Amino acid sequence: MYTALSCRCTAITDGAFMRGAFGRCKKRWFQTIITGLGNPKNQYQYTKHNAGVLMADLLKKELAQRQSWVKYGKKSLAEYVVLQDKNVILCKNTGGYMNLSGETFLPIWKSLEREHRPSDGVTECVVIFDDLDTPFGKVKLRKPGTSTKGHNGLKDIANKLGHLNFYKLAIGIGRPAERDPQQVVNHVLSKFNNNELSILEQECLPETLRLLEPFLR
Protein backbone atom coordinates (compact mmCIF):
# COMPACT_ATOMS: atom_id res chain seq x y z
CA MET A 1 0.00 0.00 0.00
CA TYR A 2 1.83 3.10 -1.24
CA THR A 3 0.26 6.37 -0.25
CA ALA A 4 0.33 10.14 -0.36
CA LEU A 5 -0.10 12.14 2.85
CA SER A 6 -1.36 15.21 1.01
CA CYS A 7 -5.18 15.27 1.35
CA ARG A 8 -5.74 11.70 0.18
CA CYS A 9 -4.60 8.14 0.76
CA THR A 10 -3.67 6.03 -2.23
CA ALA A 11 -3.26 2.30 -1.85
CA ILE A 12 -1.52 0.38 -4.59
CA THR A 13 -1.71 -3.35 -4.89
CA ASP A 14 -0.55 -4.75 -8.23
CA GLY A 15 -1.78 -1.67 -10.05
CA ALA A 16 -5.12 -1.34 -8.23
CA PHE A 17 -6.03 1.97 -6.56
CA MET A 18 -8.15 2.91 -3.55
CA ARG A 19 -8.69 6.56 -2.73
CA GLY A 20 -10.07 8.29 0.36
CA ALA A 21 -9.78 11.44 2.43
CA PHE A 22 -6.67 11.62 4.60
CA GLY A 23 -8.87 12.37 7.60
CA ARG A 24 -10.35 8.90 7.39
CA CYS A 25 -7.03 7.16 7.81
CA LYS A 26 -4.94 9.57 9.88
CA LYS A 27 -5.19 7.31 12.95
CA ARG A 28 -3.79 4.32 11.08
CA TRP A 29 -0.27 3.01 11.55
CA PHE A 30 2.16 4.52 9.06
CA GLN A 31 5.38 3.13 7.67
CA THR A 32 7.80 4.96 5.38
CA ILE A 33 10.19 3.47 2.82
CA ILE A 34 12.89 6.01 1.95
CA THR A 35 14.81 5.02 -1.18
CA GLY A 36 18.04 6.47 -2.57
CA LEU A 37 18.54 6.19 -6.32
CA GLY A 38 21.85 5.72 -8.10
CA ASN A 39 23.97 3.50 -10.32
CA PRO A 40 26.02 0.48 -9.22
CA LYS A 41 29.72 -0.27 -9.61
CA ASN A 42 32.73 1.64 -8.34
CA GLN A 43 32.89 3.91 -11.40
CA TYR A 44 29.69 5.66 -10.27
CA GLN A 45 30.61 5.94 -6.59
CA TYR A 46 30.49 9.56 -5.37
CA THR A 47 29.16 10.85 -8.72
CA LYS A 48 26.52 13.56 -8.71
CA HIS A 49 24.08 11.12 -10.31
CA ASN A 50 24.43 8.99 -7.16
CA ALA A 51 23.39 11.80 -4.80
CA GLY A 52 20.35 9.73 -3.78
CA VAL A 53 22.49 6.80 -2.66
CA LEU A 54 24.94 9.13 -0.92
CA MET A 55 22.11 10.76 1.03
CA ALA A 56 20.71 7.35 1.98
CA ASP A 57 24.14 6.47 3.38
CA LEU A 58 24.23 9.74 5.35
CA LEU A 59 20.74 9.11 6.72
CA LYS A 60 21.73 5.63 7.79
CA LYS A 61 24.84 7.00 9.50
CA GLU A 62 22.68 9.54 11.35
CA LEU A 63 19.71 7.35 12.22
CA ALA A 64 21.08 3.81 12.41
CA GLN A 65 24.83 4.01 12.90
CA ARG A 66 25.04 0.68 14.72
CA GLN A 67 23.02 -1.22 12.15
CA SER A 68 24.36 -2.76 8.96
CA TRP A 69 22.87 -2.64 5.50
CA VAL A 70 21.03 -5.87 4.62
CA LYS A 71 21.33 -7.17 1.08
CA TYR A 72 18.01 -7.81 -0.64
CA GLY A 73 17.51 -10.88 -2.83
CA LYS A 74 19.92 -13.20 -4.59
CA LYS A 75 21.01 -10.52 -7.08
CA SER A 76 21.63 -7.96 -4.31
CA LEU A 77 20.08 -5.17 -6.39
CA ALA A 78 19.47 -3.16 -3.23
CA GLU A 79 20.26 -2.94 0.46
CA TYR A 80 18.02 -1.83 3.29
CA VAL A 81 17.90 -1.06 7.02
CA VAL A 82 14.77 -1.25 9.17
CA LEU A 83 14.46 1.51 11.79
CA GLN A 84 11.95 -0.14 14.08
CA ASP A 85 11.66 2.76 16.52
CA LYS A 86 10.68 5.14 13.71
CA ASN A 87 8.66 2.77 11.48
CA VAL A 88 11.04 3.61 8.65
CA ILE A 89 12.89 1.47 6.13
CA LEU A 90 15.94 2.98 4.43
CA CYS A 91 16.69 1.47 1.04
CA LYS A 92 19.36 2.17 -1.57
CA ASN A 93 20.33 0.95 -5.00
CA THR A 94 23.39 -1.30 -5.14
CA GLY A 95 22.90 -3.46 -8.23
CA GLY A 96 20.26 -2.08 -10.57
CA TYR A 97 20.84 0.85 -12.92
CA MET A 98 19.21 4.24 -12.53
CA ASN A 99 17.02 3.96 -15.63
CA LEU A 100 15.64 0.64 -14.30
CA SER A 101 14.77 1.98 -10.84
CA GLY A 102 11.12 0.98 -11.09
CA GLU A 103 12.01 -2.53 -12.15
CA THR A 104 14.49 -2.72 -9.27
CA PHE A 105 12.49 -1.21 -6.43
CA LEU A 106 8.82 -2.06 -6.94
CA PRO A 107 9.31 -5.76 -6.09
CA ILE A 108 11.51 -4.77 -3.15
CA TRP A 109 8.97 -2.26 -1.84
CA LYS A 110 6.17 -4.80 -2.03
CA SER A 111 8.25 -7.46 -0.30
CA LEU A 112 9.39 -5.15 2.50
CA GLU A 113 5.85 -3.88 2.89
CA ARG A 114 4.43 -7.37 3.26
CA GLU A 115 7.12 -8.28 5.76
CA HIS A 116 7.04 -5.20 7.96
CA ARG A 117 3.64 -3.50 7.67
CA PRO A 118 0.62 -4.56 9.78
CA SER A 119 -2.47 -5.45 7.78
CA ASP A 120 -4.20 -2.18 8.65
CA GLY A 121 -1.13 0.00 8.03
CA VAL A 122 -0.29 2.52 5.34
CA THR A 123 3.07 2.81 3.61
CA GLU A 124 4.61 6.05 2.34
CA CYS A 125 7.30 6.05 -0.35
CA VAL A 126 9.93 8.80 -0.52
CA VAL A 127 12.43 8.62 -3.39
CA ILE A 128 15.72 10.53 -3.09
CA PHE A 129 17.29 11.60 -6.40
CA ASP A 130 19.81 14.00 -7.94
CA ASP A 131 18.23 17.15 -9.40
CA LEU A 132 19.77 19.38 -12.05
CA ASP A 133 17.11 22.05 -11.53
CA THR A 134 17.92 22.50 -7.84
CA PRO A 135 21.11 24.43 -6.98
CA PHE A 136 23.86 22.44 -5.34
CA GLY A 137 23.55 22.52 -1.56
CA LYS A 138 19.77 22.82 -1.64
CA VAL A 139 17.19 20.11 -0.93
CA LYS A 140 13.51 20.10 -1.91
CA LEU A 141 10.65 17.76 -1.07
CA ARG A 142 8.10 17.43 -3.87
CA LYS A 143 4.60 16.24 -3.15
CA PRO A 144 2.96 13.22 -4.79
CA GLY A 145 1.64 13.98 -8.25
CA THR A 146 4.51 16.29 -9.19
CA SER A 147 6.48 15.79 -12.41
CA THR A 148 9.55 13.60 -12.74
CA LYS A 149 11.12 16.48 -14.72
CA GLY A 150 12.78 14.03 -17.06
CA HIS A 151 14.74 12.15 -14.40
CA ASN A 152 15.19 8.64 -15.76
CA GLY A 153 15.01 6.91 -12.38
CA LEU A 154 11.80 8.70 -11.39
CA LYS A 155 10.31 8.12 -14.84
CA ASP A 156 10.85 4.37 -14.62
CA ILE A 157 9.32 4.23 -11.14
CA ALA A 158 6.30 6.24 -12.31
CA ASN A 159 5.92 4.05 -15.40
CA LYS A 160 6.03 0.84 -13.39
CA LEU A 161 3.64 2.21 -10.74
CA GLY A 162 1.34 3.73 -13.35
CA HIS A 163 1.18 7.07 -11.51
CA LEU A 164 3.21 9.80 -9.79
CA ASN A 165 1.79 9.42 -6.28
CA PHE A 166 5.03 9.19 -4.35
CA TYR A 167 7.21 11.79 -2.63
CA LYS A 168 10.33 12.98 -4.43
CA LEU A 169 13.24 14.36 -2.39
CA ALA A 170 15.51 16.38 -4.70
CA ILE A 171 19.19 16.70 -3.82
CA GLY A 172 20.44 19.67 -5.83
CA ILE A 173 23.44 19.16 -8.09
CA GLY A 174 22.88 22.28 -10.21
CA ARG A 175 23.28 22.63 -13.97
CA PRO A 176 26.53 23.30 -15.82
CA ALA A 177 26.87 26.74 -17.39
CA GLU A 178 26.66 25.23 -20.87
CA ARG A 179 23.41 23.54 -21.91
CA ASP A 180 25.14 21.26 -24.41
CA PRO A 181 23.76 17.74 -23.75
CA GLN A 182 27.22 16.20 -23.51
CA GLN A 183 28.28 18.82 -20.97
CA VAL A 184 25.21 17.96 -18.89
CA VAL A 185 26.08 14.24 -19.03
CA ASN A 186 29.67 14.98 -18.04
CA HIS A 187 28.43 17.09 -15.13
CA VAL A 188 26.00 14.44 -13.86
CA LEU A 189 28.64 11.70 -14.05
CA SER A 190 31.41 13.80 -12.50
CA LYS A 191 32.39 13.05 -8.92
CA PHE A 192 31.78 15.30 -5.93
CA ASN A 193 35.00 16.78 -4.62
CA ASN A 194 35.85 16.69 -0.90
CA ASN A 195 34.40 20.14 -0.28
CA GLU A 196 31.14 19.20 -1.99
CA LEU A 197 30.92 15.97 0.02
CA SER A 198 31.33 18.05 3.18
CA ILE A 199 28.49 20.33 2.08
CA LEU A 200 26.27 17.30 1.46
CA GLU A 201 26.86 16.12 5.02
CA GLN A 202 26.95 19.43 6.85
CA GLU A 203 24.23 21.33 4.97
CA CYS A 204 22.12 18.96 2.87
CA LEU A 205 21.75 16.24 5.51
CA PRO A 206 20.29 18.54 8.19
CA GLU A 207 17.84 19.99 5.68
CA THR A 208 16.91 16.48 4.52
CA LEU A 209 16.23 15.45 8.11
CA ARG A 210 14.07 18.54 8.60
CA LEU A 211 12.01 17.81 5.50
CA LEU A 212 11.65 14.14 6.44
CA GLU A 213 10.68 14.88 10.03
CA PRO A 214 6.95 14.09 9.49
CA PHE A 215 7.94 10.63 8.26
CA LEU A 216 10.46 9.97 11.03
CA ARG A 217 8.20 10.51 14.06
pLDDT digits (tens, 9 = 90+) for 85-142: 888 999 999 999 999 999 999 999 999 888 876 666 778 899 999 999 999 999 999 9
Q: Could you give the angle at the alpha carbon of 138 between the alpha carbons of 41 and 146, nearest 5°?
A: 85
Q: Whole-angstrom Cα distance, residue 166 to residue 155?
A: 12
Which has more pLDDT, 31 or 159?
Answer: 159
Looking at per-residue pLDDT, the higher value among 41 and 63 belongs to 63
Residue 77 lies in a domain: yes
In a domain, 6, yes or no: no
Is residue 24 assigned to a domain? Answer: no
Domain count, the chain: 1
| Domain range enclosing 41 | 30-216
Residue 49 annotated in active site: yes
Does the residue 131 lie in any domain? Answer: yes
For residue range 55-78, what is the model confidence (pLDDT) as tens digits?
A: 999 999 999 989 999 999 888 899
Residue 25: the pLDDT is 35
Using CA atoms, how far apart are residues 70 and 46, in angstroms rounded to an integer?
21
CATH number at residue 181: 3.40.50.1470
Catalytic residue among 49, 116, 151, 163: 49
Residues 6+ apart with CB under 8 A from 79: 69, 70, 71, 72, 91, 92, 94
Considering the entire predicted model, what is its pTM? 0.86
How many other CB atoms sit within 10 Å of the CB of residue 72? 20
Kindly state the DSSP code that residue 200 receives in the 8-state scheme. I
Mean pLDDT of all residues in 17-21: 25
> Is residue 169, in this structure, part of any structural domain at all?
yes
Contact indicator for 38, 55 with CB cutoff of 8 Å: no
pLDDT at res. 119:
64
Task: Flag whether pLDDT at 6 surpasses 50.
Answer: no
Per-residue pLDDT band at 84 (split at 50, 70, 90): confident
Residue 15 included in any domain: no
Phi and psi for 16 in degrees, rounded to 5? Answer: -85, 150
In a domain, 12, yes or no: no
**Residue 26 scores a pLDDT above 70:** no
194, HSE (Cβ side, Cα atoms, 13 Å): 0
Instruction: Answer yes or no: are the C-beta atoms of 83 and 63 closer than 8 Å.
Output: yes
Please indicate, yes or no, if residue 94 is contained in any of the structural domains. Answer: yes
